[in-house]
């Protein structure tokens, strides 16, 4: 592979106005779960349940970013990126319901200040799945009150930081929080129930809507939005088109429609009639508060068909290339997804690709990590973004997932998504070839823009 990713000449992505970054999340990298006044999150609890996380792994130490944050931010800067996307751990800020933990705020302030001192913008996610356990003890996202607790948390953070945070994200991937956590039980808190999943989803979206005016008031100079994971679906046969359309409606229209259209997709409400969440009058007005951007996290596609009973089933693409985690590599899906969003939403705000990346079985050999498949993945997906831009989609930035190997939720540490290899025994960081290619692309772009 080349040691530099290539963008088409004259692409808008070559402009200094297009933003490139890397991304992480708090529970996946920080560790120090008992330090700095932090309380337990639902993931601390979930990890202690035998069989829930591969190899019995947990986030107790993770990448020890809590102690190594300064060298990590220097490493981010060395890649030549414009921005760093991170999340703030709710359990560090409000370890008790009404007790603001200044140590937690100070921890993140030093990271934000360091990023700004190095010339990088800071994109902060307020909720990347680490709900305080004391709120889960009262029902978590099944309790409508949690949406209001989130609004209070957003108020605490945004009053403290204001415009010092360049871009605020309310939620990361509410689909995962709601459906994997409360519908299918494979993520924390491990609840299984159709009704529970849809109820949690509504309360998450309500939390987003309640937070938006608070964020705008406290940080009027910042941008504010929300991040969705989105998987485009394809029909195996023409008669399966309805199956693909439904899967997209359930997978991401269910979460994006209430924000951009002020309603939930009828096809899902009808099919899940007995599991409809309680939606109070005015809820959708709250959820559809204007946003400055939406983030899209893309990894792969899905192919589906109707089975003999009329149910929708996935069709494995056995002849296609897959990553180590088993996800098909399909860059065309990213272009298709972005074009479908442009078609569906006449009021589509600017888009950032807030996550995109691949898991590999990466080995550090003689101080180097040759992650050829990941290099190919990034190269083809960067071109896929460019194709969407050429066809009129307003994409303004791209964040690679992830900065470094980390705790990959229910997969533990077996799946490595990082551009930087982490030796979990020594905490040594090693730039993989993909990180070097990303850095070289950004350095070349910077030089070209300097030279006109």
If we measure between CA atoms, which residue out of 159, 154, 204 comes closest to residue 178? 204
Confirm if 297 and 354 have CB atoms less than 8 A apart: yes
Catalytic residue among 196, 248, 250, 355: 355
Could you tell me the two tokens for 324?
């180590």
Confirm if 384 and 339 have CB atoms less than 8 A apart: no
Residue 288, Cα to own-chain centre: how many angstroms? 20
DSSP 443: H
Q: What's the CA gap between 391 and 339, in Å, rounded?
A: 8
My answer on whether omega of the bond before 402 falls inside 30° of 0, hence cis, is yes
Q: What's the CA gap between 161 and 108, in Å, rounded?
A: 10
Q: What's the CA gap between 233 and 55, in Å, rounded?
A: 32
How many C-beta atoms surround the C-beta of residue 57 within 10 A?
19
Q: What's the CA gap between 194 and 285, in Å, rounded?
A: 25
Q: What angle do CA 74, 76, 78 make, to 5 degrees?
A: 70
Alpha-carbon distances of 75 from 80, 95, 214, 371, 404, rounded to whole Å:
9, 30, 33, 19, 10
Confirm if 219 and 158 have CB atoms less than 8 A apart: yes
Q: Is 128 annotated as a binding residue?
A: yes
Catalytic annotation present for 355: yes
Torsion of the alpha carbons at 406, 408, 409 and 412, rounded to the nearest 10:
-90
Cβ density class 122-146: b for 16+ within 10 Å, e for less: bbbbbbbbbbbbbbbeeebbbbbeb
3 state SS of 305: strand
Q: Is 299 annotated as a binding residue?
A: yes
Confirm if 52 and 43 have CB atoms less than 8 A apart: no
Sheet strands (E) in 34-153: 83-87, 121-127
Q: Is 6 annotated as a binding residue?
A: no
Q: Is 96 annotated as a binding residue?
A: no
DSSP 325: T
Catalytic residue among 30, 173, 248, 250: 173
Instruction: Cite the annotated binding site by residue number.
Output: 28, 128, 172, 299, 401, 408-409
Instruction: Cite the annotated binding site for substrate by residue number.
Output: 28, 128, 172, 299, 401, 408-409
Residues that are catalytic: 173, 355
């Amino acid at each position: 592979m080349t040691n530099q990713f290539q963008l088409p000449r004259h692409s808008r992505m070559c402009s200094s106005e297009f933003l490139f970054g890397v991304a992480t999340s708090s529970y996946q990298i920080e560790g120090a779960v008992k330090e700095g006044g932090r309380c337990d999150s639902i993931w601390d609890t979930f990890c202690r349940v035998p069989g829930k996380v591969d190899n019995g792994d947990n986030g107790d130490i993770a990448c020890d970013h809590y102690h190594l944050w300064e060298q990590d931010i220097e490493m981010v800067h060395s890649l030549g990126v414009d921005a760093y996307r991170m999340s703030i751990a709710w359990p560090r800020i409000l370890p008790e319901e009404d007790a603001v933990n200044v140590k937690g705020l100070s921890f993140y302030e030093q990271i934000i200040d360091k990023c700004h001192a190095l010339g990088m913008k800071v994109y902060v996610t307020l909720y990347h799945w680490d709900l305080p356990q004391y709120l889960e003890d009262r029902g978590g996202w099944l309790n409508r009150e949690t949406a209001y607790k989130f609004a209070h948390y957003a108020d605490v953070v945004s009053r403290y930081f204001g415009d010092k945070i360049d871009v605020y994200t309310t939620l990361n991937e509410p689909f995962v929080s709601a459906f994997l956590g409360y519908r299918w039980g494979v993520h924390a808190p491990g609840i299984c129930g159709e009704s529970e999943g849809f109820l949690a989803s509504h309360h998450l979206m309500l939390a987003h809507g309640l937070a938006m005016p608070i964020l705008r008031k406290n940080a009027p100079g910042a941008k504010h939005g929300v991040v969705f994971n989105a998987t485009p679906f394809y029909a195996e046969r023409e008669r399966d088109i309805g199956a693909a359309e439904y899967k997209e409606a359930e997978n991401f229209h269910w979460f994006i429609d209430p924000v951009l259209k002020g309603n939930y997709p009828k096809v899902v409400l009808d099919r899940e009639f007995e599991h409809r969440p309680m939606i109070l009058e005015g809820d959708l007005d709250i959820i559809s508060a204007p946003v400055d951007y939406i983030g899209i996290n893309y990894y792969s596609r899905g192919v589906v068909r109707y089975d003999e009973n009329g149910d929708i089933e996935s069709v494995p693409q056995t002849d296609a290339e897959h990553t180590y985690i088993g996800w098909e590599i399909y860059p065309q899906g990213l272009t298709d997804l972005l074009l479908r969003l442009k078609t569906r939403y006449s009021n589509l705000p600017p888009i950032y690709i807030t996550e995109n990346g691949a898991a590999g079985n990466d080995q550090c050999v003689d101080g180097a990590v040759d992650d050829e498949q990941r290099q190919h993945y990034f190269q083809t997906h960067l071109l896929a973004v460019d194709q969407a831009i050429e066809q009129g989609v307003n994409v303004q930035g791209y964040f690679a997932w992830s900065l470094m190997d980390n705790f990959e939720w229910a997969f533990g540490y077996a799946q490595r998504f990082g551009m930087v290899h982490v030796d979990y025994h020594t905490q040594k960081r090693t730039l993989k070839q993909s990180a070097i290619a990303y850095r070289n692309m950004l350095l070349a772009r910077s030089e070209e823009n300097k030279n006109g």
